[in-house]
């Protein structure tokens, strides 16, 4: 097999952003686009000039009529589990947009099917595949590095929903929306990946959003999670659908930019405004050394190098792993995603969502 034939499930905003980058990635062919109707799929294909792609419905895709080797699953959150399970059963490799699910038992089931069918299953945290993130991991892993031993991680993802997407499904409990599911899964993933540990102790609190029109259950509008890893590294994670809700003084939390991550160590700290992989990717990481650093206080800029869009890296690395049948080469692993689902579910339970 020379190339991997990809199907795309969904034609919304994230698919419009990602699919041109999928088409650009090495050994990737967009062979089919699925939507709720043939007409929507055909319009998407025409809009993005995907001449080789066949339009189909979700039912066609799940029935195997699209004849694809892999699927980029970009549907709303509530459809991820059922669609991923059906695709994996047909030995179709699945790259699912985050979050894969908020239930550990569902993630375990998907991992089990993937093993049985020798299919590749990956949750799409694209920032993992950027040079920028790998540089942050090196800083965190090096106790003799520019910030010294890592002591604390702060990560935040806060937006103004009404400005970005008024009336969308992010506030729908039925569609598994909410701040943690849509946004907070990124800071949670970032902290777990940087620390390479699972939290040993933690607390969570939330502000709930009014129920979505036509629904009775709320989602979280803001969620804050604090805790510590077994190593003693502490973390402070923030997500919100409204920046005005994140009042640092009333919430008694330290100020932090709405989108970004800070790594603090014994000898200094570094901040990135782009921890979750949204271009343009920074070409360097700025570090502030404290007076405790062996070289004294000061600032330095660590070059990262020019980076392509993380989506391109993610699709190319997934394709290479699938073509080699080297499923252990792809990050994050299904086991990691099982734990990610377990943490999301536990946090939602703790805050009453």
| Residues with catalytic function | 98
Rounded CA separation 309/320 (Å): 17
Alpha carbon distance 28, 71 (integer Å):
11
* Dist. CA 218–CA 205, nearest whole Å: 15
Residue 204 structure tokens: 């969570």
First to last CA, the chain: 46
Rama region for 23: left / alpha / beta (φ>0; ψ in -120 to 50; rest): alpha
Cβ pair 86, 62 in contact under 8 A: yes
Q: What is the DSSP pairing of strand 298-303 with strand 284-289?
A: antiparallel
């Amino acid at each position: 097999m020379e190339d991997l034939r990809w199907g795309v499930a969904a034609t919304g905003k994230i698919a419009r952003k990602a699919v041109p980058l999928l088409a650009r990635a090495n050994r990737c062919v967009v062979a089919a686009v699925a939507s709720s109707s043939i007409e929507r799929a055909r319009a998407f294909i025409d809009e993005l000039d995907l001449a080789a792609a066949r339009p189909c419905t979700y039912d066609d895709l799940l029935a195997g009529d699209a004849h694809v080797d892999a699927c980029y699953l970009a549907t709303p959150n509530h459809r991820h589990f059922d669609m991923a399970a059906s695709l994996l059963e047909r030995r179709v490799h699945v790259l699912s947009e985050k979050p894969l699910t908020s239930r550990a038992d569902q993630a375990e089931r998907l991992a089990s099917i993937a093993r049985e069918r020798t299919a590749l299953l990956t949750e799409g945290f694209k920032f993992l595949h950027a040079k920028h993130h790998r540089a942050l991991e090196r800083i965190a892993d090096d106790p003799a590095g520019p910030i010294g031993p890592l002591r604390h991680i702060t990560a935040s993802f806060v937006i103004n929903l009404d400005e970005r997407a008024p009336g969308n499904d992010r506030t729908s409990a039925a569609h598994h929306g909410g701040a943690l599911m849509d946004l907070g899964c990124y800071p949670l993933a970032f902290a777990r990946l940087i620390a390479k540990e699972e939290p040993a102790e933690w607390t969570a609190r939330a502000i709930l959003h009014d129920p979505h029109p036509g629904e009775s259950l709320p989602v979280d509008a803001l969620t804050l999670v604090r805790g510590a890893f077994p190593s003693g590294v502490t973390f402070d994670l923030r997500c919100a659908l409204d920046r005005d809700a994140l009042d640092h003084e009333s919430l008694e939390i330290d100020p932090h930019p709405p989108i970004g991550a800070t790594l603090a160590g014994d000898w200094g700290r570094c901040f990135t405004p782009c921890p979750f992989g949204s271009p343009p990717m920074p070409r360097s990481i700025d570090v502030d050394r404290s007076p405790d650093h062996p070289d004294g206080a000061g600032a330095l800029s660590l070059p990262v190098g020019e980076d392509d869009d993380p989506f391109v890296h993610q699709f190319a690395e997934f394709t290479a792993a699938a073509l080699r049948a080297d499923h252990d080469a792809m990050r994050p692993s299904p086991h990691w995603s099982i734990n990610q689902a377990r943490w999301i579910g536990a946090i939602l339970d703790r805050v009453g969502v």
